[in-house]
Every structure is written in structure tokens, then in C-alpha cells.
């Protein structure tokens, strides 16, 4: 199956609807629908949304993302247990349509979250979708993490180039040997941090050469710890 074919097939199966019923509602041929579900025919995102809507599925809360984005991130076969799917098959139509009435919304809820992307002055410039595990992303509360756009080349010696996205989780204090996001007079800045004796920090950057400065630990305003890098090739 294709990813969008999975979404259509699982939604249809959950509702106990035949391919003929769905094709009639959506105004497509039964053959076309089955070919999409099997992955032998490509379907566009807007067409898949239309068919899902005809089946009674509500609009996804993450409307900014395509169904293909959602299906690529969520393992729907794992997200929906065989027991639940079997129960849905046997349910009366009215019972199957209770709640949000959508297997892909059920799978999405609590599994994906739109994470904001901020620039150096913490203005949101975009968002990315990340999986959530027990309400957390990278071990931190899902609503507290964000992406930071590297504003320049000052960290390229640490493999972070201008325009790269760095995932930041909240931190109360600087951590030794970690890349940290600090609040400075020039805005939010990335540094590689080393903890020194006498409550001091060594803040390192690396553009054309390694540069560092020593500051009192009390002067460092920590925003968070960098845990993941996303770069365009």
C-alpha cells in the first residue's frame, strides 16, 4: 500500500464500508479506489482529503500539514491495534461514527505535534511536525520544545551552518560539553559550553577558527539545550 492508500483503507475498514459504497459517495470508480488503496495508483492529497470527508472523517487539527506528511510520520498500522480495528469492523455504523469518527485523527492525536521554528529574536518563522511519546519530545514537555534557526556561520566548526534548524529543549542551567542556546545582548546565540572551576563557563564558537570567552556562570542566561540538528542538503 501507499501511505495515503493506508489512510483510506484503514478509514474505510474502520467504518465497515465497502469499496463500492465509498466510491459511490466520493464519485470515483471502485477500481480507482482499490488501486489507490493497494498502492498501484497515485492519489493527490486534496483528493484523499475529499474522499475521507465523504466517509465522514473530520478535518485534521494539523491542517497545515499534508496527509502524506502525517502518514509518513505515524505508523498507522501500529497506532491502531488489531483488536480496536476488529471491534470497529463489527460496530454499528452509528457507533463507529461517534467521537471524531476518524482513525487517522485518532492516530494523530497525542502522537504528532506542531513544533514552532524561531529566529534569533524569537519570532516564529515556521513550524515542523514531530512525534510525541507520552506527552514528551526528546524527554521534554512537548509544548516547551522549539526549533531555532542558526542565524550565521559562527557554529559551522560544530557542524551547524547558517539556516540549519536546531531542536532546543528547556534547561535550567548550562551543561558541560553540550551545545546550548543562550540569551545575549545580541539576541539568542548558540554556544558550545564547558564548565570551568570557580563557577565559570567557557563559551565556544567556531567559524573560521575556534574562538572562546570565559564568563561567570551567573551571567549566562540559559534558554535551552540543543538536542537535534536538521540541515538542508
| Same domain flag for 55 and 117 | no
Same domain, 87 and 33: yes
For residue 87, is pLDDT > 60? no
Contact 11, 103 (CB under 8 A): yes
Terminal-residue alpha carbon distance, the chain: 29
Q: How confident is the model at residue 144 (pLDDT cuts 50, 70, 90)?
A: very high
Q: What is the pLDDT of residue 198?
A: 92
CATH number of domain containing 132:
2.10.109.10
Q: Which pLDDT belongs to residue 134? A: 82
Residues 25 and 47 in one domain: yes
Same domain, residue pair 20 and 98? yes
Structural domain of 184: 113-230
Give the model's confidence band at 86: pLDDT under 50 very low, under 70 low, under 90 confident, else very high.
low
The residue from 72, 87, 108 where one domain ends is: 108
Does 121 share its domain with 224?
yes
Q: Where among 108, 128, 160 does a domain terminate?
A: 108
What does the pLDDT read at residue 35? 92
Q: Are strands 179-184 and 187-196 parallel, antiparallel or unpaired?
A: antiparallel
Tell me: pLDDT of 98 over 90: no
The per-residue pLDDT for 177 is 96
- The three-class DSSP label of residue 175 is coil
The C-alpha cell of 87 is what?
471491534
pLDDT of residue 44: 85
Q: In whole angstroms, what is the distance from residue 107 CA to residue 99 CA? A: 13
Q: How many helices and strands (H and E) does the chain possess?
A: 9, 11
Residue 118: phi and psi, rounded to 5, are -115, 150
Same domain, 118 and 104: no
Residue 92 has pLDDT above 80, yes or no: no
Burial of 151 (0-12, 13-18, 19+ CB in 10 A): middle
In the block, cell 524561531 appears at 118
**226 and 128 in a common domain:** yes
Whether the pLDDT of residue 63 is over 60: the answer is: no
Q: Are residues 30 and 97 in the same domain?
A: yes
Predicted confidence (pLDDT) at residue 43 exceeds the cutoff of 80 = yes
Please check whether residues 147 and 85 belong to one and the same domain.
no
Backbone phi, psi, residue 125, to 5°: -120, 5
Question: What gap in Å lies between CA 55 and CA 33, rounded to an integer?
Answer: 13
pLDDT at 19: 93
Residues 219 and 170 in one domain: yes
**Predicted local distance difference test score (pLDDT) of residue 15:** 81
Residue 62 pLDDT level (bands cut at 50, 70, 90): very low
Report the percentage of the chain scoring pLDDT > 90.
50
Contacts of 91 (CB under 8 A, 6+ apart): 16
What is the count of structural domains for the chain? 2
Which of 55, 77, 108 is the endpoint of a domain? Answer: 108
Same domain (yes/no): 168, 224: yes
Q: What is the pLDDT of residue 104?
A: 54
151-203: pLDDT as tens digits: 999 999 999 999 999 999 999 999 999 999 999 888 899 999 999 999 999 99
* E-only strand ranges, the chain: 112-118, 124-131, 136-137, 140-141, 146-149, 165-170, 179-184, 187-196, 200-206, 210-216, 221-230
Whether residue 41 sits in one domain with residue 27: yes
Cα angle value 92/68/125 (rounded, 5°): 120
CATH number of the domain bearing residue 18: 1.10.260.40
Confidence bin at 129 (pLDDT 50/70/90): confident
Whole-number CA gyration radius for the chain: 24
User: Tell me, what's the pLDDT at 122?
Assistant: 93
Amino acid at each position: 500500500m501507499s501511505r495515503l492508500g493506508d489512510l483510506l483503507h484503514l478509514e474505510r475498514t474502520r467504518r465497515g464500508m465497502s469499496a463500492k459504497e465509498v466510491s459511490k459517495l466520493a464519485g470515483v470508480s471502485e477500481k480507482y479506489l482499490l488501486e489507490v488503496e493497494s498502492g498501484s495508483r497515485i492519489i493527490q492529497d486534496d483528493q484523499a482529503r475529499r474522499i475521507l470527508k465523504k466517509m465522514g472523517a473530520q478535518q485534521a487539527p494539523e491542517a497545515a500539514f499534508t496527509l502524506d506528511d502525517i502518514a509518513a510520520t505515524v505508523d498507522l498500522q501500529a497506532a491502531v491495534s488489531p483488536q480496536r480495528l476488529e471491534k470497529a469492523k463489527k460496530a454499528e455504523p452509528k457507533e463507529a461514527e461517534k467521537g471524531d469518527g476518524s482513525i487517522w485523527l485518532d492516530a494523530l492525536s497525542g502522537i504528532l505535534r506542531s513544533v514552532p521554528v524561531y529566529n534569533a529574536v524569537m519570532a516564529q518563522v515556521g513550524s515542523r511536525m514531530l512525534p510525541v511519546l507520552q506527552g514528551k519530545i526528546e524527554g521534554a514537555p512537548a509544548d516547551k520544545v522549539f526549533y531555532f534557526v542558526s542565524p550565521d556561520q559562527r557554529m559551522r566548526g560544530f557542524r551547524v551552518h547558517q539556516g540549519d534548524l536546531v531542536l532546543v529543549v528547556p534547561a535550567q542551567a548550562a551543561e558541560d560539553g553540550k551545545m546550548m542556546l543562550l540569551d545575549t545582548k545580541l539576541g539568542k546565540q548558540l554556544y558550545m559550553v564547558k564548565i570551568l572551576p570557580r563557577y565559570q563557563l567557557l563559551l565556544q564558537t567556531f567559524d573560521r577558527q575556534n574562538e572562546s570567552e570565559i564568563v561567570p556562570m551567573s551571567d549566562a542566561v540559559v534558554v535551552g539545550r540543543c538536542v537535534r540538528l536538521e540541515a538542508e542538503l
